[in-house]
Structure 1
Amino acid sequence: MLTYETVILIHPRLSDQEVADFAEKTKQAIAKGGGEVLGEDRWGRRKLAYQIGNSREGFYLYLKYNAKGALVNEMNRQFRLQEDILRTLTVHAEDPAHTQPKPRAPKPGAAAAAPAPAPAPAPAPAS
């Protein structure tokens, strides 16, 4: 299973309780599909940068979870079918161990093949 992050933008006509119910149903769907929810963050109602449909605001919901690709595809399909969801974005979360560049050992003989630095120019004599 891979780690995914999903941000869901929900229509502002829903109440806080309806958004909470939607979040719980989504987490249950992840668990039922064999995934594991790692975190949830409700960013609340925020003003949008641009109008989507007739909406200038929306509720943001962030989920981080482990799941198989088939479950993620099915969730995204279900999100597209719901009219109360304005936008979604799901990305594969990088493992922090993979984002750190690994130090490379110098190649043998590479130090001998490197040119020597040019000597610094001599200072001009003072007159």
Structure 2
Amino acid sequence: MMRKYEGAFILLANLEEDVRNAEIEKVKNIITERQGTIEKVNEWGQRRLAYEIDKKREGYYVFVDFTSEADAVNEIDRICKISDNFVRHMITVEE
């Protein structure tokens, strides 16, 4: 069943722009490969973290609104966990 989600991703602040864009593309590709649709991508850019994570004070914030099946969410979750470039990520269902 297709559902609406919002993904919040914090990437390492010191990533090269092309590496960061590749990571964002990877997330978007997982959604589209599974017949999902991307509603909106909102890049907040470099921000100070609310608290230190792994000795890091800053992160690059990206928000993605999308519609997809649950398997796309599971795959994004898996990719973010194994990638060192993501500091934190969270995907929530929009009611």
TM (normalized to structure 1)? 0.70
How far the C-alpha of 1:16 sits from its partner, in A, is 2.7
Decide which structure has the larger Cα Rg and report it.
1
| 1:24 pairs with 2:21 | no
| Percent identity of paired positions between Structure 1 and Structure 2 | 28
What is the one-letter code of the residue matched to 2:14?
R
In structure 2, the residue matched to 1:89 is: 90
> How many residues are matched?
94
Give the superposition deviation at 1:71: 1.4
**TM-score normalized by structure 2?**
0.91
Do residues 4 (structure 1) and 5 (structure 2) align?
yes
Higher relative contact order (Cα pairs below 8 Å, separated by 6+ residues): 2
Shift of 1:92: 0.2
Matched, 1:80 2:81: yes
Instruction: Give the gaps of 5 or more residues in structure 2.
Output: none
AA in 2 matched with 1:16 = E
* Coordinate RMSD, CA, aligned: 1.1
TM-superposed CA distance for 1:21, in Å, is: 2.4
Could you say which residue in structure 2 is the equivalent of 1:117? none
Structure 1 unpaired stretches of 5+ = 95-127
